[in-house]
Amino acid sequence: MSATILFGPPSATLAILLDDPAEHDFASAERLLGGLSGEQATTVPPGLPYSVAAVLAHMNANVRFNLELIGSPDPAAFKNLDELWPTVSSEAWPELVKEFSAAMAELSRIVREENLNRTLYPATDEEPAWTVGYKLALSVAKHNAYHFGQIGVLRRLVGA
Residues 110 and 152: their CA atoms lie apart, in Å, by 27
The DSSP letter of residue 116 is T
Question: d(Cα 137, Cα 6) in Å, to the nearest integer?
Answer: 11
| Paired residues of 119 in beta bridges | 131
Domains of the chain with bracketed CATH: 5-157 (1.20.120.450)
pTM value? Answer: 0.91
2: pLDDT strictly greater than 70: no
Phi, psi of 159 (to 5 degrees): 75, 25
Q: How far apart are CA 107 and CA 8, in angstroms?
A: 14
| Spatial separation of the C-alpha atoms in residues 105 and 135, rounded to whole Å | 17
> CB 109: neighbour CB atoms within 10 A?
10
pLDDT digits (tens, 9 = 90+) for 67-87: 999 998 888 778 876 778 889
pLDDT, position 26 = 80
Residue 7 or residue 77, greater confidence: 7
Q: How many CB atoms lie within 10 A of CB 49?
A: 9
Residues 13-66 pLDDT 10s: 999 999 877 777 788 888 899 999 999 999 999 999 999 999 999 999 999 999
What confidence category does residue 1 fall into, taking pLDDT thresholds of 50, 70 and 90? very low
> Under a CB-based contact definition with an 8 Å cutoff, are residues 157 and 51 in contact?
no
- Which sign does the torsion angle of CA 92, 93, 98, 103 carry? positive
Where is pLDDT greater, at 131 or 82? 131
